[in-house]
């Protein structure tokens, strides 16, 4: 195994995860609560779309880098059989979180969610932002549990025997 390239993949993986999940944390704990407090629904929709729109491009890039570096590490370690071992639940969790975000960012948001958000936010902004805030919290918590499991697991602490 080429040690330098493997280590580089790990560095890219962790930096991409920091930027990506850190951004999700910022949107969830700071930006959506601030947008909810804006007076008019026009301001709420416009501000949210501008900020999330910019973050969406960053998230697309960092998600892609996380996936490429992650699958490269699995390939170098020849560790595909981990998918068959429940002690490596954190490998399943990483893959699941990655698939969820890839689907949302590359498929659902551009095709469905964007229009859906606009229509619902126009007619019922309070409920729309509440549902969206909740969805962000769920994805953030799932990502944090995954990150904790991945750091512990890749250093030999599996949590399950």
Catalog residues that contact ligand HEM under the rule CB under 6 A: 10, 13-14, 17, 21, 66-67, 70-71, 73-74, 94-95, 97-98, 143, 146-147, 150-151, 154
Nearer to ligand HEM, 128 or 147 (CB): 147
Identify the CA nearest to 25 among candidates 148, 114, 144. 144
CA 95, CA 70: separation in Å to the nearest integer? 9
Neighbours of 26 (CB within 10 A): 14
Residue with tokens 């892609």: 64
Nearer to ligand HEM, 73 or 121 (CB): 73
Q: What is the CA radius of gyration of the chain?
A: 18
Q: Measured at the alpha carbon of residue 11, what is the angle toward residues 60 and 144, in degrees to the nearest 5? A: 60
Nearer to ligand HEM, 128 or 143 (CB): 143
Minimum separation from the CB atom of position 95 to ligand HEM (A): 5
Minimum separation from the CB atom of position 151 to ligand HEM (A): 4
CB-hemisphere CA count at 13 Å for 31? 21
- Cα–Cα separations (whole angstroms), residue 68 to 12, 55, 74: 9, 20, 10
Minimum separation from the CB atom of position 45 to ligand HEM (A): 29
Nearer to ligand HEM, 55 or 120 (CB): 55
CA 97, CA 138: separation in Å to the nearest integer? 11
- Closest-approach residue to ligand HEM (CB): 70
Minimum separation from the CB atom of position 69 to ligand HEM (A): 8
Minimum separation from the CB atom of position 41 to ligand HEM (A): 33
Nearer to ligand HEM, 70 or 125 (CB): 70
């Amino acid at each position: 195994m080429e040690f330098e390239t493997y280590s580089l993949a790990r560095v890219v993986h962790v930096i991409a995860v920091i930027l990506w999940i850190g951004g999700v944390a910022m949107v969830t704990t700071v930006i959506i609560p601030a947008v909810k407090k804006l007076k008019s629904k026009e301001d709420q929709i416009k501000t949210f779309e501008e900020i999330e729109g910019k973050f969406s491009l960053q998230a697309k890039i960092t998600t892609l880098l996380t996936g490429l570096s992650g699958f490269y590490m699995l390939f170098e370690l020849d560790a595909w059989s981990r998918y068959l071992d429940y002690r490596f639940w954190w490998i399943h969790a990483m893959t699941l979180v990655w698939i969820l975000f890839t689907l949302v960012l590359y498929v659902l948001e551009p095709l469905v969610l964007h229009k859906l958000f606009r229509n619902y936010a126009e007619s019922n902004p309070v409920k729309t932002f509440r549902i969206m805030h909740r969805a962000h919290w769920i994805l953030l918590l799932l990502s944090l549990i995954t990150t904790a499991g991945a750091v512990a697991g890749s250093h030999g602490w599996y949590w399950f025997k």
